[in-house]
Chains A and B, each alone.
Chain A
């Protein structure tokens, strides 16, 4: 086992996508968490220890959240039981934006500090965020039909979230677009940084323009305008979604690291055979 890990460590250092000369110098200093996690083998060990805990947290919060959302919270005075769609829709929307902020942050770290794990983390987060965005759009549509009377309108909020979904698809595609992994990472990171500008547009679209979508109910200056009996399930589900995001993220990072390692091994075997 120890031999295998040492091997993985060596491979990680020789892998083309893992850093330039200057990174190797900084790795020898090795004095903080930032550098500690730069080693994929070390990261994998830490992540496999964290995974079961994050998974448990997800389940606990989801069970409590669903119990409150479906059974132990009141119907709305205007919308009746349809309001329960909110407990999926709103956390999905938060996660869609959080995941993009997360992805862009790691893209910036990857571009500036050339941290070997940063682009892998960004690449791992993209499909998870895309799924949350799609869920947000679908549940919003299902909510819009009974309440507004339409599945979809081209107002600023709905359109900007659809653009967010396309940005995610762009980032996912760019990570597979070229043969050279460094080029993939760079182009995807640049798109992610461009996409950052869409986040404030989504958030404030309902204040800047007339939209069919309602203005903010929770995150606003005057405090939430949702009764606390409805805020409880909302926050419980939101926390469980955050845990779920990190749970899937850890799994995806590990699998991407493993596939990169495999690729390098293949390349080395091929070289030896020649």
Chain B
């Protein structure tokens, strides 16, 4: 084995070991790396009341309502298996829409309602002009929501 192939195999071996160790570390830290939990993951975890956490999913169609005080909104976050009812006091982001992604940061109160102090909108990977979205909706292919 010449010096070049020795150096090559050495570098390849280091890279392989490094890759494996990083993969193991990331797999072990999975719970800390996720930015939010889905409603299903949360139901399995049963977090204690008052613990700060983030819940993410879609805003359920037809679930949004503004309460009588005029600033508290109430909506359901769903991952199509489980649901979490959330409330938020204040302004919602522009992209907040029924059927679109959302991430809430806050805690559960004693009624098992998620009180979100912060609500972030999470948009999906689809981009298209409004006319195309309209056409898809008319043909029933697209279930996305309209701009309110």
What residues of chain B lie closer than 8 Å to A147, measured between beta carbons?
93-95, 121, 123
Asked if B129 CB lies within 8 Å of chain A CBs, one says yes
A211 CB–B CB distance under 8 Å: yes
In angstroms, Cα B34 to Cα A215, docked, is 14
Q: Determine whether A14 belongs to the interface, using a CB cutoff of 8 Å to chain B.
A: no
Residues of chain A within 8 A of B38, CB atoms compared: 210
Count contacts on A: residues with CB < 8 A to the other chain: 41
- Indicate whether A76 reaches chain B with its CB closer than 8 angstroms: yes
Once the chains are docked, how many angstroms separate the CA of A226 from the CA of B37? 27
Cα A112 to Cα B14 with chains together (Å): 13
CB-CB < 8 A to B118: which residues of A? 149-150
Instruction: Give Cα A108 to B14, complex, Å.
Output: 12
Name the B residues within 8 Å of A79 (CB-CB). Answer: 95, 123, 127
Cα–Cα distance between A196 and B14 once the two chains are bound (Å): 12
Whether B94 contacts A193 by the Cβ 8 Å rule is no
**Number of A-B residue pairs having CB atoms within 8 Å of each other in the complex:** 118
A82 to B28, CA, bound (A): 38
B15-23, B43-51, B70-78, B106-114: which lies at the interface: B15-23
Q: How far is the CA of A113 from the CA of B3 in the complex (A)?
A: 9
Q: A112-B11, A150-B120, A210-B38 are in contact. Are A78 and B95 (CB under 8 A)?
A: yes
In the assembled complex, which residues on chain A have CB atoms less than 8 Å from the CB atom of B123?
78-79, 147-148, 214
CB atoms of B129 and A74 under 8 A apart? yes
Bits for A130-162, please: 1 = Cβ < 8 Å to B, else 0. Answer: 000000000000000011111001111000000
A83 & B125 in contact (Cβ 8 Å cutoff): no
Q: Are B129 and A75 in contact, with the CB atoms below 8 A?
A: yes
A 88-119 binary contact with B (CB < 8 Å = 1; else 0): 00000000000000000000100111000000
Q: Is the CB of B125 within 8 A of A156?
A: no
Main secondary structure of the interface of B (DSSP, over half): mixed
| A53-86 contact mask (Cβ, 8 Å, vs B): 1 or 0 | 0000000000000000000001111110001001
Interface membership of B69, Cβ < 8 A = no
Interface residues on B, range: 35 or more
Note all chain B residues with C-beta closer than 8 A to A216.
125
A75-B129, A229-B129 are known contacts. Are A146 and B4 too (CB-CB below 8 A)?
no
Query: Beyond A108-B11, A150-B120, A197-B19, is A210–B127 a contact (Cβ under 8 Å)?
Result: no
Q: How far is the CA of A155 from the CA of B15 in the complex (A)?
A: 26
- A23 nearest CB across to chain B (Å): 11
Q: Which of B30, B122, B130 contacts A209 (CB 8 A)?
A: B30
Cβ contact within 8 Å between B15 and A193: yes
A78 to B95 CA separation, bound complex (whole angstroms): 7
> Would you call B26 and A201 a contact (CB within 8 A)?
yes
Residues of A within 8 A of B (CB): 22, 74-79, 83, 86, 108, 111-113, 146-150, 153-156, 193-194, 196-197, 201, 208-212, 214-217, 225-227, 229-230
Residues of B participating in the A interface, judged by any CB pair closer than 8 Å: 3-4, 7-8, 11, 14-15, 18-19, 22, 26, 30, 33-38, 56, 93-95, 97, 100, 103, 118-134, 144, 147
Closest 10 CB pairs of A and B: A149-B93, A74-B129, A77-B133, A155-B35, A227-B128, A217-B125, A226-B127, A77-B130, A210-B34, A112-B7
14 pairs of residues in contact across A and B, judged by CB atoms under 8 Å: A156-B34, A156-B35, A201-B22, A209-B30, A209-B33, A210-B56, A212-B36, A212-B120, A214-B125, A215-B125, A225-B126, A225-B127, A226-B126, A227-B132
